[in-house]
Structure 1
Amino acid sequence: MDDLVLLRREFDAEEGTFLGGLRPDLVWDKAAFSRLEQAMRRVCAAFAGRDELPRWLVEGFWFCADWVPSWTGHADFPRPEPLEYYEGAVERLRDLQSWFVTGESPYLEHHEWPAI
């Protein structure tokens, strides 16, 4: 699936997406999160250095970096994984938002992104 199509589905919280499972079902789907963050990374790389960014993408990156930590950080949100997993995932979303908006990765050029 094309990354922009995947992100449009995610940012619209369609069924079967990471964001689509968070709010109504309170489910953090690790595989869906991985698909989301990898697509976000590829889009960051593709859009780096552009002067203009599509508003829907900017809003989606912002939403992920702002809403996901707030929603999943609630005491009642089920977190079966170790706390470090969620902290790393939230940090990843914030790093990706920064990269997308500024056009510059917060890491060195040949940084190896560890799997989350």
Structure 2
Amino acid sequence: MDDLEFLRREFAAEEGSFLAGLRPDMVWDKAAFTRLEQAMRRVCAAYEGHDELPRWLVEGFWACSDGVRDWTGHPAFPRPAPEDYYNNAIERLFDLQYWFVMGESPYLPGTPWEEL
């Protein structure tokens, strides 16, 4: 499956996706998040500098960054990993949203994306 098809399934919160696990199950699957984040990163790179973006992707990046922050911000959301992990992951989603919409990475050229 290519990255666009993968993101279409993720943004639709299809069964087995990272987003489907967050709501209503309140489960943060680290491996599923990594797959989502890496696909989003590759799509950002592919669309960098484009003047036109598919609406469904813009909506998906926006909903993902805001939604994950909102869903995991609930006091009852279980956090078995260190708090910094979740904070960094949510910041990463906002960095990816910025990159996708603005057409350029928020990091200086050549700066590696730290694995979470």
TM-score norm. by structure 2 comes to 0.98
Match of 1:33 in 2: 33
Question: Secondary structure of the equivalent of 1:10?
Answer: helix
Whole-angstrom CA distance in 1 between matches of 2:46 and 2:109 = 14
Task: Measure how far apart 1:100 and its partner are.
Answer: 0.2
| Partner deviation per Cα, 1:60-90 (whole Å, 9 max, x = no partner) | 0000111110110110000100000000000
Whole-angstrom CA distance in 2 between matches of 1:48 and 1:72 = 29
| Pair 1:8-2:5 in alignment | no
Q: Which runs of 5+ in 1 are unaligned?
A: none
Q: Which runs of 5+ in 2 are unaligned?
A: none
TM-score norm. by structure 1 comes to 0.98
Root-mean-square deviation (CA), in Å? 0.6
Identity, % of aligned positions: 72
Match of 1:20 in 2: 20
Tell me the number of residue pairs that the alignment of Structure 1 and Structure 2 aligns.
116
Whole-angstrom CA distance in 2 between matches of 1:42 and 1:111 = 15
Which segments of structure 1 move beyond 2 Å, counting only runs of 4 or more? Answer: none
1:24-103 maps to which residues of 2 (within 5 A)?
Answer: 24-103=24-103
